Every structure is written in C-alpha cells, then in structure tokens.
Chain A
Amino acid sequence: MKAKSNLFAFIKKSDEKAFEILFRLYYEPLVGFCVKIIQDKDLAKGLVQEVFISIWENRENLRPQSPSPYLYRAVKNKCFNYLRHQNVKQEFQNEFKNQDISEQVENDEINDKLILIHNSINKLPAQCKRIFIMSRMHGLKHKEIAEELGIAVKTVKNQIGKALKHLKRELTYLIICLIFYALKLF
C-alpha cells in the first residue's frame, strides 16, 4: 500500500514521472469503468483524461492516500456530472449511484511492484526501453522489432538482456528507496 499512496505524495511535489506512472497504470482500467456508466468509449476517454488533468492542476491539494479508490470516485462523479448535464433519466443515475465501487477497487490487481517496475522501465536508455516495450508490452517478435528499427536480431536479443539486467538491479535499489521514503512521510 505504501508505494501506491506515495504516488500521490510524489505528484504533490510536481513529480512528472510519478504522474505518468499513475496515468499509465490507471488510464485503461478507468476508461473501462467509465464506459460501463456512460456507454460511450470515446466520451469515456475524454472524461478520464479530464480527471487526470484536473488531478495535475490541483496537485497541491492531494493527500497521500491510495490512488485507486480516489480515482474511481473521481471518474464516477465526473460521469454523473456529465449525465446530469445531458438530462439523462434519473433512474439510470440512481441505478449506478448505489453500485459499490469497492468491487472495482478490489479487482484492481495493480500492486506496488508494478509501480516500481514502471519506474525502472522509465529509466532504461531510450533504445533499450523501446526494444523492451516492443517485445514485452506490444508482443512483437525479435525479427519484427529488428525490421521496424532497422537493426540486427542479435542487437534486439542483446538489448532485452540488458533491460533485464537493469530491471533486476534497479528493483532491488528502488524497494529500499521507497521504504525509506515512506518512513519519512508518516
């Protein structure tokens, strides 16, 4: 829990990297949640983006807390404001008002380690990061990556190894760092 609450603490101090990590971790799950309420994917994307923008703009007022419940509540309120604006029938709102969002929060399998990993991926050298993301996140084959970037397959393998080494080293270091940071805060 500590690392996650800390994301808000970092953002409060205008840490842009922390903001990016928060965004990457929660954007898609929140859009999915938002679509359930307003039934419109494009609209949902816009609303969730606005929530993130207002978090950044009002970052001074953030309290160190677990981001997940806060974010889901913010998106829910945003949706209801939108629906109220659109004069959509009252019953529809009520139906969702009483729905428990804790289910969403619990389904949310994101844990502290993911934040750490996000953070260390961000620190990889540019080319190495690109190759690692293409391989691991976008599921591209070595050959496809090599063709796309105009490099040898051997280099791709090499860079993936390099990324793994870096992550392994970084993560040990980061865990210590964050525990230290948490102790300072509370």
Chain B
Amino acid sequence: MKKIDLHNVNWELIGDILTDKASNKQKSDFENWLETDVANESFFNDIKEIWVKTGNLSYGYSQETNEAWEIVKLKTTQKRNKVFYLKPAFYSVVSIAASLLILLFVGKAILYPDETIFSAKNNSIVAQELPDKSVIDLNYDTELKYKTNFIRKKREVWLSGEAFFDVEQMKTKPFIIHTEHGNFKVLGTSFNISSYKNDSLLSLSVKTGVVEFFPNSLHGSIKVKKGEQVHYNINNKKLKKHKSKTENYIAWKTKTLVFDDLRLEEITQILEKTYNTKIKFENNSLKELRFTAEFKNQSLDKILKVISLTFELEVEKIDNYIKLLEIKNEQTKDQNN
C-alpha cells in the first residue's frame, strides 16, 4: 500500500460525497478513485469515521451548549489570574511586592472597572446586551449600571430613566432592577420600566411573564402579570394597577402606535413620551376630541398632520414645545372659497 499525500487528495470531492451533494459525474470519479488503490478505500473510511463522529458531537455545539458555555466561561474567567504567591524574605522584597500589588490593582481597576454604564442621551435610543444575554433598550436620557460581578451571585442593575427589558430566564439567578423609588425582581420576562428623575410617576408595563415590584414606601411587594400596568405616584405613594389594552408604552422602541377612540389629551401624552417632546393645547375643549388611528414607523410631524387634518387644527412649533390650535373660522372660509 502506498502512503497517501494529503495534498494530492481531492478534498472537495470527498466533502461532496459525505454531504451527499455529489453529482453523478462526481460519483463515478469517486468510484474510480476508490478502485485505483486499496489504500484509497481505507483512507476514505478513516475520513468517513471522523465525519460520523463529528456528527455525534453535534450536541456539544448546539445553541443550548453554546449559551451555557458563554455563561460558564464568563464566570470562570473572572476567577483566573488571581493566584499570587508571595514569600518575602527581606523588606526590600516586600516593598517591591507591595508596589507590584498596587500596580496590579491600579491596572485591574483601569482594565476592569467595577461597573459598566450604558447610557442613552437626548433623542437617541440604544439597545444593549448584558453578559447574561438579556437585552435592554434604553429610551432617551436613560442610564443603566451594572457591576463587574453581575451574574456571579445574582443579576443586579441600576436604572434611571426608561428602558425595555427582555430578560433571559435563569431560575437560580433572579434579575433585580433598582430604581430611585423601588426595586423590581424578575426571573425571565419582558417589560418596560419608566422611572425618570423628574417624573412624579413611576410606571411598569409587563409584556410577558411576571414582575415583582417592591416600592420603597411599602413593606412587601406586588406582582404584575402579563398585559398589566402599574403606576406608582411618587408624591402620594399611591399604586394603581390596570390592564393595558395596547402596547403604546413601548412605542418609543417599536414605533407602533394604536389609538382606539382615545381623547386627544391622552394621545398627546403618549406622543410626548414616545417622541420626547411637549405638546400644549390652545384651549381645553380640544383635549376632549376623540381620535382613532394606527401608525407604524411614522414621524411625529406626520402623526400631528393627520390629527390636525382630521380636526382642522393648526400645528405651531414654538422653541421647545408644540402647540395645537383651532383654525380660525375666517381662515376656513377663505380656504373653502
């Protein structure tokens, strides 16, 4: 038997045979090659064995294993490089060691800061992924912090502003969100929290699963389920829970708004939150108008235009807010003429 040179093998042909992709022409080429030498056959059998065995390994590279490996890798790397043997014989050695240690800690502090901060500034929305694969969307003016030891014991983050959380499920490691006026505990769910510094209302809207809310002023907690919304009034410490009919609360993220026979005042409140703006009315009677529509990926200007055309209103942009006013009767007449 001759020895086969690995460089002279038609690997693509072997690959096509094994993946069952070979054409008839290739198949006959392959048969010919097998027959030219007995060595070829045993060579191919070796490769085939590797091929079959790698298939048996597929679970070791499945999505599930990959995810778990990422978690375990993360948790074990944090523990690496920590062994530091020191047997000082002289003071000089001690002092050198001490200065090295200081360098080590300073270096560590620079390379691995104690906490990570995600932030979204004015009018920008940012999506971030945490080490546990949970995904957080930050609305404007929002800050989210987590410590380097996130995931080791429990998953903890600090939020100021508004964010939509899609939390990965890990039953042994609850996910905890701290805000100025209360804390939230979840296992694996998706939900929106709005807790801006200057807002008098903290709100929680749950899209899937259950979220446990611990207001600072109360002992104990309340559980908020899928499709429910809780408003916590920071001034009078009152809690209100109701069903949310729409998903307008995450319109800032999804850019989808559904108005089902809503008062104009409610609509402008939603628009203010979604587009980070202020909208005022010229007179209170306008607030009571009712409006039904659905918008997807529309700009604020476009939405306001539709509303103003519906009710014959005028949109006036003033420095930092928008004003809705009635078109004067004379003007309407002019236009009609």
Contact = CB atoms under 8 A, between A and B. Distances in A.
Interface of A: 14, 19-20, 23-25, 27-29, 40, 42-43, 45-50, 52-53, 56-57, 109, 113-114, 117-118, 121, 132-133, 135-139, 142, 157-158, 160-162, 164-165, 167-169, 171
B241 interface: no
A53 B58 contact: no
B112 interface: no
Contacts, number: 119
A168 B46 contact: yes
B64 A28 contact: yes
Interface stretch (B33-41, B140-148, B166-174, B323-331): B166-174
Contacts of B294: none
The main secondary structure of chain B at its interface with chain A is: helix
A164 B18 CA distance: 10
A164 B14 CA distance: 9
Interface in B101-150: none
B12 interface: yes
6 contacts: A114-B53, A136-B51, A139-B58, A161-B12, A161-B13, A165-B11
A171 B13 CA distance: 20
A16 B19 CA distance: 32
B79 interface: yes
A4 to B, nearest CB: 14
Interface in B1-54: 6, 9, 11-16, 18-19, 21, 46-47, 50-51, 53-54
Given A137-B61, A137-B62, A168-B6, A161 B172 contact: no
A118 B57 contact: yes
Nearest to A23: B69
Contact of B61 (A14, A24, A56): A24
Contacts of A135: 19
A160 B13 CA distance: 10
The 7 residue pairs across chains A and B that have the minimum distance between CB atoms:
A161-B11, A24-B60, A46-B172, A137-B61, A137-B58, A161-B15, A161-B12
B19 A142 contact: yes
A118 B170 CA distance: 28
Contacts of A57: 76, 79
B56 interface: yes
B53 A158 contact: no
B262 interface: no
B172 A157 contact: no
Q: Which of B19, B58, B72 lies at the interface centre, i.e. has the most chain A CB atoms within 10 A of its CB?
A: B72
Contacts of B65: 23-24, 27-28
B56 A109 contact: yes
Given A27-B68, A42-B171, A117-B53, A138 B47 contact: no
Nearest to B74: A53
A19 B56 CA distance: 19
Nearest to A53: B75
A45 B6 CA distance: 42
B71 interface: yes
B65 to A, nearest CB: 5
B55 interface: yes
